[in-house]
Amino acid sequence: MAKKRESSSDLKDQILETTEVLLRRYGASKLSVVDVAREIGMSHGNVYRFFPSKTDLLNAIAAKWLEKVHVPLGEISICDLAADQKLKLWFETLIKIKRKKFLEDPQLFAVYLELAGHQLEQVNNHVDTLVTQIEKIIEEGKQTGMFSVLDTRKAATNLFHATATLHHPVFVSSPYYPAEEEVIELLNFLIRALS
Amino acid sequence: MAKKRESSSDLKDQILETTEVLLRRYGASKLSVVDVAREIGMSHGNVYRFFPSKTDLLNAIAAKWLEKVHVPLGEISICDLAADQKLKLWFETLIKIKRKKFLEDPQLFAVYLELAGHQLEQVNNHVDTLVTQIEKIIEEGKQTGMFSVLDTRKAATNLFHATATLHHPVFVSSPYYPAEEEVIELLNFLIRALS
DNA sequence: TAATTGACAAATGTCAAATTCTGTCAATTG
DNA sequence: CAATTGACAGAATTTGACATTTGTCAATTA
The answer to whether residue A26 scores a pLDDT higher than 50 is yes
Clarify whether residues B91 and B147 are in a common domain: yes
Is the confidence at residue B195, as pLDDT, over 90? no
Q: Are residues B132 and B68 in the same domain?
A: yes
Domain residues for B94? 61-192
DSSP-derived secondary structure letter, B188: H
- If asked whether residues B86 and B170 sit together in one domain, one would say yes
Give the closest-approach CA distance of B21 to chain A in angstroms. 30
Does B65 have pLDDT greater than 70? yes
Chain segment B164-187, per-residue pLDDT in tens: 999 999 899 888 899 999 999 999
Task: Give the pLDDT confidence score for residue B164 in this predicted structure.
Answer: 96
Q: Is residue B88 part of a domain?
A: yes
Indicate the pLDDT class of residue A8, thresholds 50, 70 and 90: low
Does B126 share its domain with B171?
yes
> What pLDDT, on a 0 to 100 scale, did the predictor assign at position B111?
81
Region A68-78: what's the mean pLDDT?
95
| Rounded average pLDDT over A27-43 | 93
Determine what percent of chain B is predicted with pLDDT higher than 90.
Answer: 73
**CB within 8 Å of chain B, chain A residues 91-120:** 117, 120
CATH assignment of the domain containing A160: 1.10.357.10
Answer yes or no: is A29 CB < 7 A from strand C: no
Higher pLDDT, B176 or B44: B44
Asked if the model's pLDDT at residue A4 lies above 70, the reply is no
- By Cβ distance, the residue of A155, A168, A185 closest to B158 is A185
State which residue of chain A sits closest to B124, comparing Cα positions.
A176
| Average pLDDT value for chain B | 90
Residue by residue, DSSP assigns chain A as ---S---HHHHHHHHHHHHHHHHHHH-GGG--HHHHHHHHTS-HHHHHHH-SSHHHHHHHHHHHHHHHHHHHHHHHHTSSS-HHHHHHHHHHHHHHHHHHHHHH-HHHHHHHHHHHHH-HHHHHHHHHHHHHHHHHHHHHHHHTTS---S-HHHHHHHHHHHTHHHH-HHHHTSTTPPPHHHHHHHHHHHHHTT-
**Is residue B78 exposed (0-12), middle (13-18) or buried (19+ Cβ within 10 Å)?**
exposed
Closest residue in chain A to residue B178, using alpha carbons only = A161
CA distance B4 to chain A (A): 46
Average pLDDT over residues B45-64: 93
Q: Above 50 in pLDDT, residue A1?
A: no
- DSSP 3-state of B49: helix
A21 touches strand C (CB under 7 A): no
Binned at pLDDT 50, 70 and 90, residue A119 comes out as confident
Q: How far is B45 from chain A (nearest CA, A)?
A: 34
Residue type, B132: T
Share of chain B above pLDDT 70, in %: 95
CA–CA min distance B158, chain A (Å)? 5
Residue B40 CA to residue B44 CA, distance in Å, equals 10
Helix axes A8-26, A54-77, angle to 10 degrees: 90
Q: Which of A2-16, A147-161, B43-57 has the lowest mean pLDDT?
A: A2-16
> Å between A2 CA and C29 C1'?
5
Does the structure show a pLDDT above 60 at B133?
Answer: yes
B163 or A107, higher pLDDT: B163
Mean pLDDT of A53-82: 93
User: In this structure, are B139 and B46 located in the same domain?
Assistant: no
Q: How confident is the model at residue A3, as a pLDDT?
A: 38
For residue B105, give the H/E element and its range. Answer: none
Judge whether A1 lies within some domain. no
Quick one: A93 and A37 in the same domain? Answer: no
Same domain? For B20 and B103 the reply is no
Q: Residue A38's domain is classified under what CATH number?
A: 1.10.10
Question: A31 pLDDT exceeds 60?
Answer: yes
Residue B20 in domain: yes
- The answer to whether B178 contacts A161, with C-beta atoms less than 8 Å apart, is yes
- Average pLDDT on B150-159 reads 97
Q: Which residues of A touch B138 (CB under 8 A)?
A: none
For residue A63, tell me if it sits in a domain.
yes
Same domain, A43 and A121: no
Q: Protein B34 CA to nucleic acid D20 C1', in Å? A: 10
Residue B48, CA: closest nucleotide via C1'?
D23
The answer to whether position B2 is within a domain reads: no
Instruction: Please say if the pLDDT value at position A118 is more than 60.
Output: yes
Q: Which of A21-35, A81-95, B50-64 is the most confident on average? A: A81-95
> Model confidence at B4, in pLDDT bands (50, 70, 90)?
very low
Average confidence score pLDDT of chain A: 91
**Using CB atoms, which residue from A154, A166, A193 is nearest to B193?**
A193
Q: Are residues A34 and A106 in the same domain?
A: no
pLDDT category at A176 given cuts 50, 70, 90 is confident
Residue B42 lies in a domain: yes
Q: Give chain C positions with protein CB within 7 A.
A: 2-7, 14, 20-26, 28-30
Mean pLDDT, residues B30-55: 94
Residues 6+ apart with CB under 8 A from A74: A133
Domain count, chain B: 2
Q: Is A185 in contact with B120 (Cβ distance < 8 A)?
A: no
Q: How confident is the model at residue A2 (pLDDT cuts 50, 70, 90)?
A: very low
B91 in the same domain as B22: no
Are A40 and A127 in a shared domain? no
Predicted pLDDT at B117: 75
Q: What is the mean pLDDT of residues A166-176?
A: 90
pLDDT at B48 over 60: yes
B144 touches strand C (CB under 7 A): no
**Predicted local distance difference test score (pLDDT) of residue A158:** 97
Q: For A25 and C19, how far is CA from C1' in angstroms?
A: 23
Task: Tell me whether A184 touches chain B (CB under 8 Å).
Answer: no
B109, B61 in Cβ contact below 8 A?
no
Q: What is the pLDDT of residue B155?
A: 97
CB A33 within 8 A of CB A57: yes
* A39 & A76 share domain: no
Q: Tell which wins on pLDDT, B48 or B121.
A: B48
